[in-house]
Amino acid sequence: MDHFLYRDGALYAEDVPVAEIAAAVGTPFYVYSTATLLRHFRLFDEALSGMDHLVCFAMKAASNQAILKTLAQAGAGMDVVSQGEYLRAKAAGVPGDKIVFSGVGKTAEEIHTALTGGIRQFNVESEPEMETINKVALDLGVTAPITIRVNPDVDAKTHAKIATGKSENKFGIPISRAREVYALAASMKGLEVIGIDVHIGSQLTELEPFRLAYQKVAELTETLRADGHNIRRLDLGGGLGIPYERSNDAPPLPVEYGAMVKETLGHLNVEIEIEPGRLIAGNSGIMVSKVIYVKQGEDRQFLILDGAMNDLIRPAMYEAHHDIIPVIEAEPGTEQTAYDIVGPVCESGDTFAKGRMMTPLQADDLVAFRSAGAYGAVMSSEYNSRPLIPEVLVNGDQFAVIRKRPTFDEMINRDTIPEWL
Ligand SMILES: *Cc1c(COP(=O)(O)O)cnc(C)c1O
């Protein structure tokens, strides 16, 4: 459920007409709903109630300071994968002891920043990385809390580019080698082993792969405890999918996920940590774009928008589907027509949808891409010298620009000219 609904035929973001935001900031732009962000965070928080737990928002999905602050004020921790994200989380007021550092290639500089600024734990992904964390911690005279990310070799049954839990993926250490690697970690004086981490992929639409992975983690917890390790926290990653197509079967709900977590891990008396990104932010944001032209091709009609692949890359990168809806609804009973919906970038990959049935649209009409709040703005670029598009946050009947559109001069003047030119 989200808060982008029609009222009398006009699309609203909470209590604000989307067309009003478009008039104020120009198109294209992203707009997020505070109520939806908070609702999704709380669904997870409640799904794990009864267990000691922390929901850490995977901020690579959406990292605007205003979004982070909204979630942090509701009690969310953050899962970060770079120094930049760590510093963003701190800038949004998240205390270090609620920040988890994930990612397959943390540098000594990144580790240093986190150890001096405060960190809940590092999720270690390899032995060389473990050695680096140990060394930086010893140099600083502190101990670094760590989990080790295990790769359970389960098929997440998702898009290949976002599956991470098979043995062929670059992530974590093979679960078969876990005892050996935990023994090595325990021998390092700069480390404190506190738990186990697993994250098998993104946009999962079934619970079964999670269940398989968590059962393996439960077994490993008992084995490692028997080996003498004090395993007291399990980081279960993120990955629960969202319904990008309203017409399709819905993925499992957070409450069903939470019940499965209790079933598989509840008996272990551990603290549970989860790192959802997409399910919190995905349906909390839309991208709004304007029709520039309707072009008649030989056998098809093209809807050419002012938004493009540089603004929302998911269709080009993951063959992702986004529902695209008019901001002003057609009269009831209006017949639909098929459009290829494209952006103006000079690549055939700049295609959002083919043969999509829509009510007829004209130049200057507005459309909204649903479920664009996660992996949308954060993956945007200025390809074709199209300035980054603005982000707007709605809260009830208020809205605010939370990242402004750079001017063309600002974009151009980021480059510098060597003295010989
Ligand atoms: C990307 C990622 C997540 C978030 O995944 P979602 O599918 O957005 O929930 C969580 N943890 C790690 C380690 C990740 O890389």
Chain segment 34-74, per-residue pLDDT in tens: 999 999 999 999 999 999 999 999 999 999 999 999 999 99
Lowest mean per-residue pLDDT among 128-142, 233-247, 281-295: 233-247
**How remote is the CA of residue 103 from the centroid of ligand 1, in Å?**
10
Q: CA 78 to CA 57: how far, in whole Å? A: 5
Kindly state the DSSP code that residue 160 receives in the 8-state scheme: G
Residue-level pLDDT at 84: 98
> Tokens 């030989």 identify what position?
298
CA of 251 to the centre of ligand 1 (A): 16
DSSP secondary structure code for residue 305 in this structure: E
Coil, helix or strand for 123?
strand
Establish whether residue 238 lines the binding site of ligand 1, counting it when its CB lies within 6 angstroms of any ligand atom: yes
The answer to whether 143 and 194 are in contact (CB under 8 A) is no
Please report which helix (H) or strand (E) contains residue 5, including its range.
strand 4-7
**Is residue 276 part of an annotated ligand binding site?**
yes
Check whether 228 is labelled as a binding-site residue: no
Q: Where in the chain is the domain with CATH 2.40.37.10?
A: 4-31+283-412
Asked if the model's pLDDT at residue 1 lies above 80, the reply is no
One CATH from 3.40.630.30, 3.40.50.720, 3.20.20.10, 3.50.50.60 for 34-281: 3.20.20.10
CA–CA separation, 395 and 416 (whole Å): 39
**Residue ranges, CATH 3.20.20.10, the chain:** 34-281
Q: How far apart are CA 325 and CA 334, in angstroms?
A: 14
C-beta separation of 165 from 152 below 8 A: yes
Q: Ligand 1 centroid to 409 CA: how many Å?
A: 35
Which segments of 51-206 are extended strands (E)? 53-58, 77-80, 99-101, 121-124, 144-151, 173-174, 191-197
Determine the longest span between alpha carbons in the chain, in angstroms. Answer: 71
In this prediction, residue 167 carries a pLDDT of 79
Cβ of 79 closer than 6 Å to ligand 1, yes or no, is: yes
* Confidence check: pLDDT of 184 > 90: yes
Residue 88, marked binder? no
- The two three-digit tokens of residue 100, written as one number: 């988890």
| pLDDT tier, 162 (very low <50, low <70, confident <90, very high otherwise) | confident
In DSSP terms, 274 is beta-bridged to: 55
Q: Report how far residue 160's alpha carbon sits from residue 328's, in angstroms, rounded to the nearest whole number.
A: 36
Decide whether any atom of ligand 1 lies within 6 Å of the 53 Cβ.
Answer: no
Tabulate helix, strand, coil % of the chain (nearest 5): 35, 25, 40
Predicted confidence (pLDDT) at residue 247 exceeds the cutoff of 80: no
CA torsion through residues 117, 120, 121, 122, sign: negative
Respond yes or no: is residue 346 known to be catalytic.
yes
**Catalytic member of 1, 226, 346, 417:** 346
Query: Has 75 been labeled as part of a binding site?
Result: no
Residue 278 known to bind ligand? yes
Taking the CA of residue 149 as reference, the ligand 1 atom at the shortest distance is 13
Distance 199 CA to ligand 1 centre (A): 7
Query: What span, in angstroms and rounded, lies between the C-alpha atoms of 87 and 63?
Result: 11
For residue 241, the CA-to-ligand 1 centroid distance in Å is: 11
User: Average pLDDT over the chain, rounded to whole?
Assistant: 96
250 has pLDDT over 90: no
Residue 175: pLDDT band with limits 50, 70, 90: very high
8 A C-beta contact, residue 120 and residue 146 = no
- Ligand 1 atom showing the smallest separation from residue 374 Cα: 8
The residues near 62 (Cβ < 8 Å, ≥ 6 apart) are 32, 277, 281, 284, 285, 373, 374, 375, 376, 377, 378
Interatomic CA distance for residues 223 and 229, integer angstroms = 9
Work out the angle at residue 133's Cα, subtended by the Cα atoms of residues 265 and 180, and round it to the nearest 5 degrees: 55
What number is the average pLDDT over the span 312-320? 96
Predicted TM-score (pTM) of this structure:
0.97
* Cα Rg of the chain, angstroms: 23
Reply yes or no on whether the pLDDT at 241 is more than 90. yes
CATH topology of domain 4-31+283-412: Lyase, Ornithine Decarboxylase; Chain A, domain 1 (2.40.37)
Q: Is 275 in the pocket of ligand 1 (CB under 6 A)?
A: yes
| Residue 298: strand, helix, or coil | coil
Q: Hey, which of 41, 44, 79, 121 would you mutate to test ligand 1's pocket, going by the most ligand atoms within 8 Å of its Cβ?
A: 79
pLDDT at site 168: 79
What's the rounded Cα separation, in Å, for the pair 377 and 366? 19
